[in-house]
């Protein structure tokens, strides 16, 4: 992996990399010139010669499909008459699906994903859900994100607990341990301990004001010279730490030249930005991006098709980009959604909140193909699917077989693992 030196910003009063810091130190500015508000990582690592965190480790990219993706119209059971009975107007005709097997096929908008499936880089975990499903967006997202039972309330997210186990007390270096490209910290990353979690506001990414106000903030927070241990100085330290990361991130993102064509739109650019951070050699192992709009209660055909196209094209461009840089071995991408949708379409040519749905795991190291069994559609009117794979089985598999971390310290009950990796 090439780790090209980053150009130093001409106007900044602060060094933003270790290298730059040392260069400035050599120029006679000295450590003390910066020690007051110098980002903690610089002071720490320069003083103690702390080892850098490991690189080249497995990376997980989590893709949230917010709103509840309609699984039945994503991976279509075209050989099942029940499907067409349940979906008189929304059903995708068998002749249009992109065949994955004798019984299932992708929605036609998923052509790029279909190709990845054929190449053995995409695995589909079927009919994933949990017992006693909840149909509230808020609550079901919480269950998925915290990895809880449906009657259990956890204060931390499943990857937050992973960070608690793996990263507490570990050298943090200058890179965040998790990056989320969403507005606000996803519950998935809520942890008991403080971790360097960095957020790039989602739809605001590239929002000019954020970068500009970051610059201004840096100037405003560098004033003052009192060295006392006051709350204001404590806040300045904490802020400077995150501004420095923010600036490094911004620079990486704006200098990035992708090796594939990403489509337009916020989702693809989120993935492009994840690729940029991975390619720049960040030691971050957890990324979280989100695509919303899946709450398709009425006239869903067109919007759902567009969402699937956005998802497929984005993921394919991302995978291609990683591949061209030979980073694809290091990265696994997984989707999830708070629930699938009701098998019966409703009176408004849409679908209401349902239960289980398929999820995707993408990467050159995954075992492609189907995992688990599809749901039975032999259902009474307005009944829901019964899940056959618990979402925590997927989590346990990712934790143990990909992140090499014991699942039992993240998930309460032992889970039978799948074999997609």
Partner 1 sequence: MKSASAPNDPWEPLPKAGWDRAAAGHLLRRIGWTATPEAIDQALADGLTATVERAFPVKAQLLPEPKVISELRAASAQFGKDRRGATATQRRNLQREARERFRDALREISLLWLQNAHQPDRAAVEKWVLFLSDVYVIGAQKVRNTVLIHDHLALLQAHAFGSAPELTKAVSRSPAMINYLDLQASKREAPNENFARELFELFVLGEGNYTEQDIKEAARAFTGYRQRDNRFVFARRQHDAGSKTIFDHSGNFSGDDVIALAYRQEAAARFLPTELIRFYLTDQALPEGQIAALGQWWRHTDFDLRQLALRFFQSRPFFAAEFRARFIKSPVQFYLGLMQDLQLDVAPLQRFTLQPLQQMGPMLFNPPNVRGWIGGRSWINSATLAARRQLVQSLFEGIDERRLNADEQVELAAAQSRGSSHFSIESADLARQLPAHDPQTAARQLIDKFLPAAVSSEFYQVVVDALPPANSPDQQDRARLLIWETLLQTPEYQLC
- Residues facing residue 127 across a β-bridge: none
Q: Which of 103, 238, 299, 413 binds partner 1 (CB under 8 A)?
A: 238
- Are 89 and 345 spatial neighbours (Cβ–Cβ below 8 Å)? yes
Long-range contacts from 5-8, C-beta under 8 angstroms, 24+ separation: 6/248, 6/251, 6/252, 6/255, 7/251
Report the residue number, 244 or 407, with the smaller CB distance to partner 1.
244
Under rule CB under 8 A, residue 224 binds partner 1: yes
Span of 69-77, 200-208, 248-256, 370-378 interacting with partner 1 by CB under 8 A? 200-208
The nearest distance, CB 139 to partner 1, in angstroms, is 7
Under rule CB under 8 A, residue 236 binds partner 1: yes
Under rule CB under 8 A, residue 219 binds partner 1: yes
Cα–Cα distance, 229 to 234 (Å, whole number): 7
Largest CA distance in the chain: 78
Under rule CB under 8 A, residue 131 binds partner 1: no
Long-range contacts from 131-140, C-beta under 8 angstroms, 24+ separation: 131/387, 131/390, 133/339, 133/355, 133/356, 133/384, 133/387, 134/339, 135/339, 135/353, 135/354, 135/355, 136/353, 137/67, 137/68, 137/295, 137/338, 137/353, 140/68, 140/338, 140/339
User: Could you say which residues in the range 48-87 bind partner 1, by CB under 8 A?
Assistant: 67
Report the residue number, 183 or 386, with the smaller CB distance to partner 1.
183
Under rule CB under 8 A, residue 305 binds partner 1: no
Q: Which of 25, 36, 101, 210 binds partner 1 (CB under 8 A)?
A: 210
Report the residue number, 217 or 379, with the smaller CB distance to partner 1.
217
Binding mask 241-260 for partner 1 (x = CB under 8 A): xx------------------
The nearest distance, CB 82 to partner 1, in angstroms, is 26
Query: Residue 392: in which H helix or E strand, if any?
Result: helix 391-397
- Give the pair of three-digit tokens for residue 280: 């720049």
Span of 134-142, 249-257, 308-316, 375-383 interacting with partner 1 by CB under 8 A? 134-142
The nearest distance, CB 236 to partner 1, in angstroms, is 5
> Burial of 171 by CB count in 10 Å (0-12 exposed, 13-18 middle, 19+ buried)?
middle
User: Could you say which residues in the range 153-192 bind partner 1, by CB under 8 A?
Assistant: 153, 155, 183-185, 190
The residues near 29 (Cβ < 8 Å, ≥ 6 apart) are: none
- Residues facing residue 308 across a β-bridge: none
Cα–Cα distance, 252 to 277 (Å, whole number): 7
The nearest distance, CB 248 to partner 1, in angstroms, is 14
- Give the pair of three-digit tokens for residue 150: 């449906």
Q: Is 253 helix (H, G, I), strand (E, B) or coil?
A: helix
Under rule CB under 8 A, residue 264 binds partner 1: no
b/e burial code for range 355-394 (CB count within 10 A of at least 16 → b): bbbbbbbbbbbbebebbbebbebebeeeebbebbbbbbbb
Report the residue number, 102 or 347, with the smaller CB distance to partner 1.
347
The nearest distance, CB 409 to partner 1, in angstroms, is 21
Helices 301-324 and 111-118: crossing angle, nearest 10°? 50
Report the residue number, 141 or 364, with the smaller CB distance to partner 1.
141
Under rule CB under 8 A, residue 213 binds partner 1: yes
Report the residue number, 155 or 416, with the smaller CB distance to partner 1.
155
Q: Which of 77, 91, 147, 199 binds partner 1 (CB under 8 A)?
A: 199
Binding mask 322-361 for partner 1 (x = CB under 8 A): ----------------------------------------
Among candidates 57, 206, 69, 51, which has minimal Cα distance to 129? 69
The nearest distance, CB 180 to partner 1, in angstroms, is 10
Q: Which of 81, 96, 212, 412 binds partner 1 (CB under 8 A)?
A: 212
- Give the pair of three-digit tokens for residue 157: 């997210």
- Are 403 and 285 spatial neighbours (Cβ–Cβ below 8 Å)? yes
Q: Which of 150, 168, 227, 306 binds partner 1 (CB under 8 A)?
A: 150
Task: List residues binding partner 1 (CB under 8 A).
Answer: 67, 132, 134, 136-139, 150-151, 153, 155, 183-185, 190, 194-199, 201, 203-204, 207, 209-210, 212-213, 216-217, 219-221, 223-224, 230-232, 234-236, 238-239, 241-242, 292-293, 295, 297
């Amino acid at each position: 992996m090439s780790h090209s030196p980053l150009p130093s910003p001409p106007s900044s009063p602060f060094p933003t990399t270790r290298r730059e810091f040392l260069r400035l130190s050599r120029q006679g500015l000295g450590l003390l010139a910066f020690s007051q508000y110098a980002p903690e990582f610089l002071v720490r690592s320069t003083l103690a010669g702390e080892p850098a965190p490991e690189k080249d480790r497995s990376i997980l990219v989590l893709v949230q499909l917010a709103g509840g993706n309609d699984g039945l119209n994503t991976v279509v059971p075209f050989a099942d008459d029940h499907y067409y009975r349940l979906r008189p107007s929304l059903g995708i005709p068998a002749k249009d699906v992109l065949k994955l097997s004798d019984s299932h096929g992708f929605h036609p908008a998923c052509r790029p994903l279909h190709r990845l499936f054929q190449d053995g880089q995409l695995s589909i975990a079927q009919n994933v859900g949990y017992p006693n499903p909840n149909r509230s967006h808020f609550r079901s997202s919480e269950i998925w994100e915290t990895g809880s039972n449906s009657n259990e309330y956890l204060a931390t997210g499943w990857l937050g607990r992973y960070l608690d186990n793996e990263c507490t007390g570990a050298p943090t270096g200058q890179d965040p341990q998790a990056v989320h490209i969403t507005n606000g910290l996803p519950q998935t990353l809520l942890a008991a301990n403080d971790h360097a979690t960095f957020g790039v506001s989602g739809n605001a990414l590239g929002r000019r004001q954020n970068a500009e106000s970051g610059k201004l903030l840096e100037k405003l927070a560098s004033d003052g010279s009192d060295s006392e241990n006051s709350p204001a100085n404590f806040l300045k330290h904490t802020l400077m730490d995150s501004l420095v990361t923010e600036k490094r991130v911004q620079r990486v993102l704006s200098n990035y030249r992708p090796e594939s064509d990403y489509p337009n739109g916020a989702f693809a650019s989120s993935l492009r930005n994840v690729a940029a951070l991975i390619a720049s050699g960040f030691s971050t192992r957890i990324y979280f991006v989100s695509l919303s709009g899946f709450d398709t209660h009425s006239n869903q055909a067109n919007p759902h098709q567009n969402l699937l196209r956005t998802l497929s094209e984005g993921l394919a461009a991302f995978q291609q980009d990683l591949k061209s840089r030979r980073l694809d071995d290091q990265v696994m991408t997984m989707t999830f959604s708070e629930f699938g949708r009701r098998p019966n379409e409703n009176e408004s040519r849409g679908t209401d909140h349902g239960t289980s749905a398929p999820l995707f795991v993408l990467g050159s190291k995954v075992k492609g193909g189907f995992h688990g069994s599809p749901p039975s559609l032999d259902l009474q009117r307005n009944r829901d699917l019964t899940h056959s794979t618990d979402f925590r089985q997927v989590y346990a598999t990712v934790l143990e077989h990909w992140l090499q971390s014991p699942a039992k310290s993240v998930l309460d009950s032992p889970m039978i693992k799948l074999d997609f990796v």
